[in-house]
Amino acid sequence: MQRILKKVIPRVIKQKLKETRFFEHKAVADLAVTSKRIDICSAQMAHILHLSKHAPLEGKVCLEIGAGWVLTHALVCYLLGAKKVIATDVVPIAQPDTLFLALRDAIVSIPRDVLAPFSDHARIRERYDNLLSYSEFSFDTLKELGIEYLSPIDLASEKIDIPVDFIYSNSVLEHVPVDDVPSLLNNLADNLNDGGTMIHCIHLEDHQDIGGDPFNFLSIHAGRFTPTLQSNRGNRIRCAQWAKLFDDLKGSNTDFIYRYSRLEKPLPEMIDSSISYIDEEDLRVSHIGVYTRKEK
């Protein structure tokens, strides 16, 4: 029946329907039971904490950039014992009610087990049970957990008003227009306490064609690759240029905790002259994890 309806409804009407609040909420709910499920986000966080040999976040102030629609990573910081979590975004898109779904479909033992090396198993269980005791989530209930949602805020043009110990982002920095990236990174570094750290997971492929031709966008002339396209498809900053941008931050040290490449996909014959890169290997990097430590 659904398939027949899909065929019968004209495309413009389908588009209009998609734009309605109902469909938007459904898409966010789908995220909450898939990539934003709390066991999956706990595994992601544990992975980068292991790779960076990170100290526990217990009692720390955490800042998330581009927190998105489902604030699960903020809940993971709560499970890890963070004193305060500030989840930010350039547009206010978070739907806290969907966190109920992110918990409902998760395997309860996974967050406890994978996060235990960075906290205490019994304390994580207590905190997880506390999350399960909520029948619904709102921005007010998040505040009770020490999670504050701050949006809209563009951290390329302003800083937050308290220093933080840990900054995290997942699939965000590649959406920031090229010209805004240096000021964003500088503001974030300034917001860090001495000895503070940040981890950014950055995805370097064309977000509009990840499965097909993920590097072809590197050929588009800069004049046509507007800030809006940079936000939607990825800003095209390559791996070595990211290394340079982070190395330019004064008083801090940066390493990659992972760097993955796609060797099976073609590169375009022409790379636009605005794109800074070293060699083919640099162009082919598809995902990086960047770990920055501010000196004490």
Instruction: Report if residue 170 touches ligand SAM, rule: CB under 6 A.
Output: yes
| Member of 57, 147, 167, 176 binding ligand SAM (CB under 6 A) | 176
Residue 234: CB atoms within 10 A of its CB come to: 23
CB of 280 to ligand SAM, least distance (A): 27
* Burial of 136 from C-beta contacts in 10 A (0-12 / 13-18 / 19+): exposed
CB of 82 to ligand SAM, least distance (A): 17
Looking at 78-86, 90-98, 242-250, 257-265, which segment touches ligand SAM (CB under 6 A)? Answer: 90-98
Looking at 55-63, 79-87, 174-182, 279-287, which segment touches ligand SAM (CB under 6 A)? Answer: 174-182
Residue (91 or 278) nearer to ligand SAM, CB: 91
How many C-alpha atoms does 63 have within 13 Å on its Cβ side?
26
Residue (66 or 214) nearer to ligand SAM, CB: 66
Looking at 122-130, 169-177, 221-229, 273-281, which segment touches ligand SAM (CB under 6 A)? Answer: 169-177
Binding to ligand SAM by CB under 6 A, coded x per residue (else -) over 215-234, reads: ----------------x---
Binding to ligand SAM by CB under 6 A, coded x per residue (else -) over 104-143, reads: ----------------------------------------
Cα 146-65-93 angle, rounded to 5 deg = 80
- Stretch (H or E) spanning 61: strand 61-64
- Residue number with the shortest CB distance to ligand SAM? 68
| The token pair that represents 54 in the structure block | 């990170």
* Burial of 122 from C-beta contacts in 10 A (0-12 / 13-18 / 19+): exposed
The residues that bridge with 147 in the sheet, in sequence order, are 85
Q: How far apart are CA 116 and CA 80, in angstroms?
A: 8
* Burial of 169 from C-beta contacts in 10 A (0-12 / 13-18 / 19+): buried
Instruction: Report if residue 249 touches ligand SAM, rule: CB under 6 A.
Output: no
| The token pair that represents 42 in the structure block | 């706990």
| Member of 60, 68, 215, 217 binding ligand SAM (CB under 6 A) | 68
Which residues here bind ligand SAM, judged by CB under 6 A?
Answer: 36, 65-68, 89-91, 93, 170-172, 175-176, 180, 231
